[in-house]
Structure 1
Amino acid sequence: MAENGEDKLIAVARHIAKTLGGHTDNMTDDDILKIFSNFDCRLREKLTDSLPGEGDDDIPRAAPGGGVGSAKFEQTVKSLGRQISVYVSADHPIWSDSADANSFLDVVDELTAAISLWTPFAHDKQVASCLDRAEEFMQKAMFRLEEEFKALMDQGTESFDLTRLRGGEAANPSYSSESDVDEFPDEGSEIPVAHPISDYDIIIDALPAGIIDDLHEIAKRMVEAGYGKECSHAYSMCRREFLEESFSRLQLQKFSIDEIHKMQWTEIEDEIDKWVKGINVALRILFPSERRLCDRVFFGFSSAADLSFMEVVRGSTIQLLNFADAVAIGSRAPERLFKVLDVYETIRDLMPEFELIFSDQHCVLLRNEAVTIWKRLGEAIRGIFMELENLIRRDPAKAAVPGGGLHPITRYVMNYLRAACRSRITLEQVFEDTVAPPGSRNGDYMKGDERGLSSSSPLAVQMAWSMELLETNLEAKSKVYRDSALSSVFMMNNGRYIVQKVRDNELGSLLGDDWIRKHTAKVRQYHVNYQRSSWSKVLGVLRIDNSALSPNGTPKSMKEKLKLFNTYFEETCRTQSNWVVFDEQLRDELRISVAGNLSPAYRNFIGRFQSSPESGKHADKYIKYSVEDLEARINQLFCGSGGSSAGRK
């Protein structure tokens, strides 16, 4: 009894599975039929009619030199070739008519199945010749499918409004949350588009659902026919153009590393601001959306989907990473720290996205490059602190300010460190693997506990090290002043400013109370040194003893001492009125301290002088200053031109 078509189909399927290395002994007929589940009845009938031959075991055999079966195969190839030629030569898009599109795909399916069926018998010359012609027809069909694929991609992309990707407000933007999007939305549903302002939890469907389904059907045939790379290339070309246009809308330009290094820093700052916004949109919206689109178009073919996605996003990702790399390897001038921190923090915060989006084997190099550049940015930040230290060291000792006021290097360094500590968490991360601060030499570097720090974190040690270099530099500058009292005022001013900048902010929390107490004590010691070196000469004249001698060696009279006091006091006041104490509280403390020591001694001396026989009846004419006059003159001290409160900023 002749077997029916289904029995023949099952026999063919068993043979194909066995040829490919499969085990069919334990497979049921239903399992075998699943092999051809994607082919419709017309294909089954074609395959049944084109069987190479029939034998007792119903397995196709090609007779040497040709036979009835191979002749039927030749007829099948000719028939399919004619049909393919009609579609290939069509001067209108095949997918403009769904019936034509389905028929074309059916013909391709039939040809694919026939080639797969007869390939095991390619040792027969007649079969091999037919297979060659079949491959030629298949190649033509694939070229046309590729053209149709590109046309569908272009058609779908044209329907997407790229202006919605701008940073400004978009009119009635529509977008979809990732959790709310069906994997295959119904055809004709609204096309979601992104409006990237602050909410990144959205996905763009840049192509209509119907077109995605058509693309999937074409991609399926091309991959199964061995043209997966060609399909991926066609897909990636179109989607790359979409991403490039999207980047343009986000004002992200392509710059070479050399071009970036030639820019003014203000220009780079502007580009960094654009880059931060752009890379967030790319990694959180554009790339995930492209990943999803690839998975839908190449559904069931993960390798082709991974390759296509990599080809789509590779150029854009390299563009983004190259910019960050240019920032990392550029100048390490201290003023660049804060923008470099912005770039570092942006990549750090996006690392989960890099890990998720670039997880397959094709994209692993991009992910690794992101990690490398992230680490390079950390090295750049540490290098910037090294340059800050070099800046402190290089500031010349001769650059002392008039009047012993606050030095610009002190103001710059302290404000810089305070601002840097606003990014304390990031800097802790950057310095956590650092054994010693960059630039330390010959044991100069000490551990945190040796610096009186409550925290021995690398960042705390780095900050203390920078300020220690600053203090050393200031001490060298103080020696430029010939007057030791002025030298003490200089150190007092700068030391007070340092302590004030450390208190009540992240820097103080980082360094700890012990550090603050230690440096507050240093400021008090500078105060004591000032008193000793500045007013001891004036106070010495007021002593009621024989320590003050005339040029001939005899003790000075009280009149002579009073005259000498007036001279010393006026000289000191005239000099110190040009000295600078920037802090109002410190200025008042100094004046009170000077008056507290000088006024009682002067009052006592005047009292003694007025009651002494030496003064006579006209003692008042020798007394130039009353105690009140004395204190008034003292209250005019430290008002140099640089002593205004504006210098404290």
Structure 2
Amino acid sequence: MADNSEEKLLAVARHIAKTLGRTETMTDDILQIFSTFDNHRFSREKLSEKMDGDDDPRGYAALEHSLKSLDRRISRYVAADQAIWADSADSAEFIDAIDELLSTVRDWNHMAAEKPVAACLDRADDLLQQAMFRLEDEFRLLIERSAESFNLQNRFSGDGLEGSGAGNGNFSSDEDEDEDENGDRIPVAHPVTDFDIVIDALPLGTINDLHEIAKRMVAAGFGKECSHVYSSCRRDFLEESISRLGLQKLSIEEVHKMPWSELEDEIERWTKAVNVALRILFPSEQRLCDRVFFGLSAASDLSFMEVCRGTAIQLLNFADAVAIGSRAPERLFKILDVFETLRDLMPEFEEVFSDHYCAFLRTEAVTIWKRLGEAIRGIFMELENLIRRDPAKAAVPGGGLHPITRYVMNYLRAACGARQTLEQVFEDNIPSVGDYRTSDPNDRASSSSPLAVQMAWIMELLESNLEGKSRVYRDSALSAIFLMNNTRYIVQKVKDSELGSLLGEDWIRKHSAKVRQYHVNYQRNSWGKVIAVLKLDNSSLAPSAASKLLKEKLKSFNMQFEEMCKTQSTWVVVDEQLRTEMRLSATGNVLSAYRNFLGRLHNVPEVERHTEKHIRHSVEDIEARINELFQGGIGFTGSRK
């Protein structure tokens, strides 16, 4: 009787386990309950042995029945011609069937070693795979249909984006629209000024449906396939968005072959595109990924990386092409734009591409940003080479302003408009700044910034170049005029810009003193010779000898003065204030000596009578002649821009 009751109890246990679907947890619970009956006469071990040793084929009947039912339910939807998610009831039924299939596989998976169960599980896996393929198609279809309904044209234009408000999640076209020749309405978009915008490219209902599908595909082990489908669809959206911002897909070689004027325009388009991408498009895609793959962080991160990788690399490759391209000095300012844009977007790169899948994008952005800094430093080195190579053979007519002086000074003034950026660029390269300097280190303060050292060095190269050019002039007075014109121009450009604070007051005083010294050299080598003719000693001479001497001096003075005025009529002093100072200085020195000479002449009546006719120039004439000087060639070299 006891044996009969034991068999009945075991039969009940088997029936419960098989009917409910046997799992490890459920079996343990059943054994625990029945082992407590009849003062623990049915031990847990004994019951377990009897249940595990049961080979009754009726134990798999429930599994077979369940799989047949699921096969009918799932196959009907797998073979359907119309979209399952077109009807909410169909999609709900399909999802429920897949959930049951996943649950059945999980419940019986621990018994996969048993042949009958293994055969059933193989059939279940085939059915699950078919369901996943159909889910994949439905997933793609949901995204594509929603993207089609998202009016991209009204959200993007070649000039930028227009948002209906910060953070509202949508864009709208401008209320004011132009008409083309056929009368069609053309939406007008404004440039982006506010980046606090999020694009909801898919409706909320679609996002929820995608999330439900993604959960099942990840649970079934199809997470990578789901990510691939998602990223391929969203990647197209991103690429079209960037294209509508006017940015072309260019290889590095194509960028290098592009004429500079075209590349300048492309850099402007790139600047707009990369700002929109990092501040609007990528964050919006990240938000969408997080919602579609909510609770599935690995799938979300992988999908986001695959969506954005191509566009991010396209944007970075363009910046890299600019960085490794020509380092001609005229390219500095656009390369500075690229450098500053990438620098200012580094926080966005760090935030948007924060997961481990995107680590290579963060690294690449930093690498290219630093490479742009190297390009900027290289441009300054090329400027140095340009100054060194500028030939000294062709002298500027009239000793005026040399084109190299004007070019370099205006270039440096413009460059200092980005002083803060340049300070950053050269701070990153402290060891390599100054290692090739040969001038006296005492000329520069040891506390100077690397940028100040760089600017001072370029100034030294320019001065050295100008000194070489000054030696082309055979007339030492004209050589002094040339150096005075160019050094004065340099000093004025330094004083009127950021260069002044970079180079310091000592530099300005030192070079202002040089201008004065060149002025002195000019006076000594020009009017000093004329004045020397008029000098008289105090020795007394007989009237006839004195008359002869004075006549010779007058004759010599007239000849030298007229020759000097004729020669210097082609010379030019660019700076108006300096021109006035030089005229006053020359007039004062010459007239003082001339008046003294005439005074000596008038003090000797006998001599005056014999020499009066040799006086060609009055004091007023001399002053007028000198005041006509330094105008020559001003139309050619007198521009101070």
The answer to whether TM tops 0.5 is yes
For residues 284-295 of structure 1, what are the structure 2 equivalents within 5 Å? 284-295=279-290
Q: 1:170 to 1:342 in 2, by over 3 A?
A: closer
- Of Structure 1 and Structure 2, the greater helix share is in 2
Once the two structures are TM-superposed, the CA of residue 75 in structure 1 deviates from its matched residue by 2.2
User: 8 Å contact 1:580–1:643 — kept in the other structure?
Assistant: no
**Counterpart position of 2:41:** none
**Counterpart position of 2:531:** 539
Cα distance in 1 for residues equivalent to 2:27 and 2:461: 80
Cα distance in 2 for residues equivalent to 1:128 and 1:544: 131
1:147 aligns with 2:137: yes
Cα distance in 1 for residues equivalent to 2:534 and 2:202: 97
Once the two structures are TM-superposed, the CA of residue 509 in structure 1 deviates from its matched residue by 1.2
1:320 aligns with 2:312: no
Once the two structures are TM-superposed, the CA of residue 178 in structure 1 deviates from its matched residue by 7.5
User: 8 Å contact 2:17–2:26 — kept in the other structure?
Assistant: no
Cα distance in 2 for residues equivalent to 1:9 and 1:445: 93
For residues 385-400 of structure 1, what are the structure 2 equivalents within 5 Å? 385-400=380-395
1:160 aligns with 2:172: no
For residues 478-557 of structure 1, what are the structure 2 equivalents within 5 Å? 478-545=470-537, 557=549
Q: 1:609 to 1:57 in 2, by over 3 A?
A: farther
User: 8 Å contact 1:15–1:59 — kept in the other structure?
Assistant: no
CA deviation vs aligned residue, 1:215-249 (integer Å, no higher than 9, x gap): 00000000110000000000001101100110111
Q: Which moved more, 1:287-296 or 1:391-400?
A: 391-400
Cα distance in 1 for residues equivalent to 2:49 and 2:106: 15
Cα distance in 2 for residues equivalent to 1:230 and 1:175: 36
CA deviation vs aligned residue, 1:402-461 (integer Å, no higher than 9, x gap): 1110000000000000100010110000000323666863x51665xx234596100011
1:362 aligns with 2:352: no
User: 8 Å contact 1:358–1:364 — kept in the other structure?
Assistant: yes
Q: 1:644 to 1:318 in 2, by over 3 A?
A: same
User: 8 Å contact 1:62–1:69 — kept in the other structure?
Assistant: no
Which residue, 204, 211, 228 being the options, matches 2:206? 211
Once the two structures are TM-superposed, the CA of residue 608 in structure 1 deviates from its matched residue by 1.5
Once the two structures are TM-superposed, the CA of residue 62 in structure 1 deviates from its matched residue by 6.9
Cα distance in 2 for residues equivalent to 1:579 and 1:309: 70
Cα distance in 1 for residues equivalent to 2:410 and 2:190: 39
| 2:132 aligned partner, one-letter code | M
SS in 2 for 1:557: helix
Which residue, 97, 119, 126 being the options, matches 1:129? 119
CA deviation vs aligned residue, 1:459-483 (integer Å, no higher than 9, x gap): 0110111111000000011011111
| 1:469 aligned partner, one-letter code | L
1:418 aligns with 2:413: yes
Cα distance in 2 for residues equivalent to 1:346 and 1:17: 64
Once the two structures are TM-superposed, the CA of residue 161 in structure 1 deviates from its matched residue by 1.9
**Counterpart position of 1:30:** none
User: 8 Å contact 1:64–1:124 — kept in the other structure?
Assistant: no
**Counterpart position of 2:632:** 640
| 1:166 aligned partner, one-letter code | S
User: 8 Å contact 2:147–2:201 — kept in the other structure?
Assistant: yes
Q: Which moved more, 1:58-67 or 1:98-107?
A: 58-67
Cα distance in 2 for residues equivalent to 1:591 and 1:399: 27
Once the two structures are TM-superposed, the CA of residue 643 in structure 1 deviates from its matched residue by 5.9
Once the two structures are TM-superposed, the CA of residue 200 in structure 1 deviates from its matched residue by 0.3
CA deviation vs aligned residue, 1:181-234 (integer Å, no higher than 9, x gap): xxxxxxxxxxxxx97611001110000000000000000000110000000000
Q: 1:618 to 1:210 in 2, by over 3 A?
A: same
User: 8 Å contact 1:583–1:645 — kept in the other structure?
Assistant: no
1:615 aligns with 2:607: yes
Q: 1:435 to 1:254 in 2, by over 3 A?
A: same
**Counterpart position of 1:444:** 438
1:601 aligns with 2:601: no
| 2:333 aligned partner, one-letter code | F
User: 8 Å contact 2:405–2:486 — kept in the other structure?
Assistant: yes
CA deviation vs aligned residue, 1:508-548 (integer Å, no higher than 9, x gap): 1111111111111111111111111111210111001299x
1:465 aligns with 2:460: no
Q: 1:285 to 1:575 in 2, by over 3 A?
A: same
| 1:502 aligned partner, one-letter code | V
Once the two structures are TM-superposed, the CA of residue 9 in structure 1 deviates from its matched residue by 6.8
**Counterpart position of 1:376:** 371
User: 8 Å contact 1:454–1:514 — kept in the other structure?
Assistant: no
| 1:87 aligned partner, one-letter code | Y
SS in 2 for 1:370: helix
Once the two structures are TM-superposed, the CA of residue 299 in structure 1 deviates from its matched residue by 0.3
Which residue, 401, 408, 413 being the options, matches 2:403? 408
User: 8 Å contact 1:62–1:124 — kept in the other structure?
Assistant: no
Once the two structures are TM-superposed, the CA of residue 585 in structure 1 deviates from its matched residue by 0.4
SS in 2 for 1:648: coil
SS in 1 for 2:634: coil
Cα distance in 1 for residues equivalent to 2:380 and 2:592: 51
CA deviation vs aligned residue, 1:591-643 (integer Å, no higher than 9, x gap): 11111111011011112223324534364421100011001000011111136
| 2:157 aligned partner, one-letter code | R
**Counterpart position of 1:120:** 110
Which residue, 553, 557, 560 being the options, matches 1:565? 557
Q: 1:440 to 1:398 in 2, by over 3 A?
A: farther
1:220 aligns with 2:210: no
Gaps of 5+ in 2: 1-8, 33-43, 171-188
Q: 1:102 to 1:61 in 2, by over 3 A?
A: farther
For residues 121-270 of structure 1, what are the structure 2 equivalents within 5 Å? 121-163=111-153, 164-166=155-157, 168=159, 173-174=163-164, 177=167, 197-270=192-265
Q: 1:467 to 1:119 in 2, by over 3 A?
A: same
**Counterpart position of 2:181:** none
**Counterpart position of 1:41:** none
Cα distance in 1 for residues equivalent to 2:594 and 2:611: 15
User: 8 Å contact 1:405–1:494 — kept in the other structure?
Assistant: yes
Q: 1:388 to 1:9 in 2, by over 3 A?
A: farther
Once the two structures are TM-superposed, the CA of residue 132 in structure 1 deviates from its matched residue by 0.9
Q: 1:616 to 1:424 in 2, by over 3 A?
A: closer
Cα distance in 1 for residues equivalent to 2:265 and 2:385: 27
Cα distance in 2 for residues equivalent to 1:561 and 1:642: 34
SS in 1 for 2:430: coil
User: 8 Å contact 2:136–2:226 — kept in the other structure?
Assistant: yes
Q: 1:493 to 1:13 in 2, by over 3 A?
A: farther
Which residue, 17, 25, 35 being the options, matches 1:14? 25
Gaps of 5+ in 1: 19-24, 26-53, 181-193
1:271 aligns with 2:269: no
Q: 1:82 to 1:445 in 2, by over 3 A?
A: farther
**Counterpart position of 1:311:** 306
Q: 1:5 to 1:423 in 2, by over 3 A?
A: farther
Across the two proteins, how many residue pairs are aligned to each other? Answer: 595
Which residue, 548, 571, 584 being the options, matches 2:576? 584
